[in-house]
Amino acid sequence: MTDEKTKERWNLPLGPLALIALPGCEGLVNSVDSYLASWRRNRPLEVSGYQKDSYLVGVSLPRFGSGEAKGMIQEPIRGDDLYIVVDVCNYNVEYSMYGETNPMSPDEHFQNLKRVIAAAAGKAKRINVIMPFLYESRQHRRAARESLDCAMALQELTSMGVTNIITFDAHDPRVQNAIPMNGFETIMPTYQMVKQMLKTEEMIIDSDHMMVISPDEGAVGRAIYFSNMMGLDMGMFYKRRDYTRIVNGKNPIVAHEFLGSSVEGKDVIIVDDMIASGESVIDVARQIKERRAGRVFVCATFGLFTNGMAKFDQAREARLIDRIYTTNLIYQSPELLSRDYYTSVDMSEYLATLIDNLNHDTGIESLLSPTFKIQKRVMEFKGNQ
């Protein structure tokens, strides 16, 4: 990347690059930082501070005994193009309050984010927030007399001076209508999912041997894109719910009903944005197996696994699920990583590429819709069979 073509491609940076990893996402951001430092070390741009060993900026979020806190940025950031990365799902981060140790909730991670933004206000040239799992994204629309938490959070961030908000696989992308005059990107990790699957599995990719399944009506768009990219047929389940009761904040599912052609003898890919408790995806896998499907692969952007791994272990033993793929965009517990039926999809190089392009004010359309890259990867795989 040191030829004349490279010189023509890269605009001058909008400002010196600075990365902040909030508590709980240090591993991911360290990997992103390594990619950026390596690439820029070999890039012939004569800009002060462009080539560095690290772009990380230290922050401190000390708490008082009452549990109250403050945010402190420990290095100069004046004029920097600042990228703050936060994992609101990391329950492994703890804090002390009145002598008790408490795991951090999404609310507390979001509050930490606002503290750091407030500390950077008026100093950084531009503030960008990378929030892979969009805070309160499941509370994206009003179905009764209830709050609109996600929209309110987005408006709060932009009112504090955030220019761009980058998220992945938002539960409902239409929530960006809450901030129509600000930058908001929701990115699908389809290419990375397909790439990892093709590395891991031995498959025959055609409609006679494989099928993509949407576990509910909300995931249909994801499944359609996934199936189109791989040249496969698609089926879907829809959830029949009991709207007379609320259990754990939602109406319980009575049954999953299937719409689509026969899955008999076919490998099936279940595509969704997240795995929470896992009850839904396991029930879908069970029904697919009852229809005599072959192997069952689950691809979800976020693996929350809120009720632990026991149910998935049982599903694996019952041969309902063959492999689960989720990204490393949020916290992955040692318990999850130890499972032989689980494969992590690394997103750090992609995230570094995205930050690099944004810092140079270069177009990211090909990163948002990597259609040709996916199709090329699939065709290469088919050609090697």
pLDDT of residue 134: 97
Is pTM beyond 0.85? Reply is yes
Instruction: Give how far Cα 301 sits from Cα of 29, 106, 187, 236, Å.
Output: 18, 18, 10, 18
Looking at residue 385, what is its pLDDT? Answer: 64
Residue type, 115: R
Express the helix, strand and coil content of the chain in percent, nearest 5 each. Answer: 35, 25, 40
Cβ atoms of residues 347 and 327 within 8 Å = yes
Q: Where do runs of H (alpha helix) occur along the chain?
A: 4-9, 26-41, 106-120, 149-159, 190-200, 220-230, 279-290, 310-317, 334-337, 348-359, 365-368, 371-383
pLDDT in tens, 201-215: 999 999 999 999 998
What pLDDT, on a 0 to 100 scale, did the predictor assign at position 1?
Answer: 39
Q: What type of residue sits at position 267?
A: D
Averaged confidence pLDDT in the chain: 91
> How many whole angstroms separate alpha carbon 382 and alpha carbon 384?
5
Rounded Cα distance, 293 and 32, in Å: 39
Q: Report pLDDT for 154.
A: 97
Token digits for 72?
A: 């402190």
